[in-house]
Structure 1
Amino acid sequence: MVTVFWQFLVLGLCSFGGPAAHIGYFQQAFVVKKKWLTDEDFTQAIALCQFLPGPASSQLGMYIGYKKAGYIGSIAAFIGFTLPSFALLTFLAVANNKFGSSVIVEQIITAAKLLAVVVVTDALWGMIKKNLTSIPTITTALLTMTWLMFSDGLLGQIFPIIIASIVGYLWSFKTQPVVNKHLIKPIRPHIGLVITFLGLLALLPFIAATNDSIKLFSIFYQAGSFVFGGGHVVLPLLQPMLDGMVTDNTFLSAYASAQLVPGPMFTMASYLGASAMPAMPLWGSIIATVAVFLPGSLLLFAFLPAWKALFSHPRLIQAILLINACVVGLLGSALINPVVTSSVKSITDVIAVVIGYILIKKYQCPVWLLAILLLIFVIIAY
């Protein structure tokens, strides 16, 4: 267990670049060097983690820890990989709460918001190229964005995902070959973990009003339960649920800060949890972090015994295709509001965002360097 924790702590301190980069780090560390997994096992684990909602790279890390040292190993892997970004983002949230009225902090927040516009735009374009490859997927994304123009709140975010999953399951648009029914295996997940996942999802909203901590846990648990497509998708799901608990400035600062630290992007929850409970920031950070990672963890180990059966069901694959398209629509809507509407206030800001996007897209400018350049720009321009 100590070995697992230490290996993932080292990776948690240096794993910049998002989920795709994290998978590369894991492959080098645990397949090539440590040989904790075979190439085949690693590839199959990636497929399962991409199939389930939740943070794919963190789920993969927990799977690797599980293969090495059982359930204790998976917990050690999660803590080790998450701890550095959790600590850094909690500290940044506390600093923002304490010094948020100073000029330099205001300039940092302005730069962070412009950075968020660039990063979300880049993430959205990547998801469009990957997921909108047919008329049904493009239509799903556009319908989702249209729906969100006239609805808000949690239901407004989750309803399109539910509809997309049902339509995708019932209506095959022939992207999969015909499969012999005898080859389709029955899905037998770990029933206890499935019941735990669904029970918390159903129960928490009803008891959230009784306690601020439970309310915060409920919000982040619900968000973590419906995230397909990576950490960027937490943005549109959390924003309406945290309305009134944190400001748009704080929300976008959390998102931008999560781009600048190593480790999983889901730890933006650490920043938001600390900001939502300023009197007890560490407690709020712990609650939010545990809650947003818990659903993906429960689902990973619930379906681990049945992952081969999952991929023998073409209709489930179809459902995921439309869910991913729906997620593109969610992120596109979030880019417009609140990201752009809260960040871009002048033609000067537009120029900064365009130049920033060119730097990150054409010249592969690192996010941390772009953050510094945007801060210098804000100090000079404002």
Structure 2
Amino acid sequence: MSSQAAPAAPAAPDIHNSPPSLAVLFIAFAKMSLSGFGGVLVFARRAIVEEHRRMTAEEFNETFALCHFLPGPNIVNLSLVFGSRFRGIAGGVAAFAGLVGPPMLLVTALAAIYSHFGQVDGLRRVLGGVSCAAVGLLVSAVFRMMLPLLKKRDVLGLLVMGAVFAAIGLSRLPLPAVLLVAIPVSLAVTYAKIRWAR
């Protein structure tokens, strides 16, 4: 009686080797932007890292950090960098168009409506409630982006992050001045950790 081994399960496709098409990039960022009440960052991270696994949590943090230091809105920079990573300049344009195009049409229509009904007291209360939800979404995104640092027990990274938060959020120091100090310190800390690991 011959025993045959069960056929091996097919390996999961490596998503990093199957780049999304231009249409997929456009649609994905359009969905993010139209879902992104209170900011697109939360939905972008969920789609890129958790749902489609196009980046690891660390890759997303590193890319977003780069976009944070470039001129322009962070999430717009992220769409261009992400799209370009997979499909070059055309991919960056497709992701950017998906991120900006549909919300621009929607906001233009809403602005026309708001110009007529913006003074209604009930509408103001609704917008006040929406702002609270937006803050909650942002806090949840920040916490998820902190998880890689917490998992690695990166004490120095957390100290730098806490110092930047205290300088900008609590002490109200100017952002450019804080960045002029924080960027060299972050680079020095990273370099020291690499040297120490060797």
Query: Distance in 2 between the 1:334 and 1:379 partners?
Result: 27
AA at the equivalent of 1:221: A
Q: Aligned pair count?
A: 166
Counterpart-to-counterpart distance in 1, 2:112 and 2:125 = 22
Instruction: Report the CA distance between 1:212 and its aligned residue.
Output: 2.9
In 2, the alpha carbon distance for the partners of 1:282 and 1:354 equals 36
1:258 matched residue in structure 2: 67
Alpha-carbon offset, residue 365 of structure 1:
4.9
Query: Structure 2 residue aligned with 1:300, among 94, 107, 110?
Result: 107
Higher RCO (CA 8 Å, separation ≥ 6 residues): 1
| CA positional deviation for 1:329 | 1.5
Distance 1:310 1:228, change over 3 A: farther
Paired with 1:303 and 1:359, the residues of 2 have a C-alpha distance of 37
2:47 matched residue in structure 1: 241
Preserved CA contact (<8 Å) 1:219 1:238: no
Matched with 1:221 is 30
Residues 1:359 and 2:196 aligned together? no
Counterpart amino acid of residue 227 in structure 1: G
Q: 1:315: Cα distance to partner?
A: 2.8
Contact 1:223 1:234 in 2 (8 A): yes
Q: 1:315 to 1:219 in 2, by over 3 A?
A: farther
**1:131-280 counterparts in 2 under 5 A?**
212-229=21-38, 233-243=39-49, 244-267=53-76, 268-275=78-85, 277=86, 280=87
Q: Could you tell me which of 146, 152, 155 is aligned with 1:340?
A: 146
| Structure-2 separation of matches of 1:310 and 1:270 | 36
**Alignment pair present for 1:322 and 2:132:** no
Separation in 2, partners of 1:364, 1:215: 39
- Residue by residue, what CA displacement relative to the aligned partner does 1:313-351 show, whole Å, maximum 9, x if unpaired? 3333222222221121111111221x1112342223322
Structure 1 letter corresponding to 2:116: A
Structure 2 gap segments, 5+ residues each: 1-15
Q: Distance in 1 between matches of 2:161 and 2:112?
A: 46
TM-score, length-scaled by structure 2? 0.72
1:299 Cα deviation after fit: 2.0
CA RMSD of aligned residues (A): 2.4
- TM-score, length-scaled by structure 1: 0.39
1:212-247 Cα deviation digits (max 9, x unpaired): 322221221122123344xxx322111121231222
Deviation by residue 1:268-292 (Cα, 9 ceiling, x = unmatched) = 21112223x2xx2212211111111
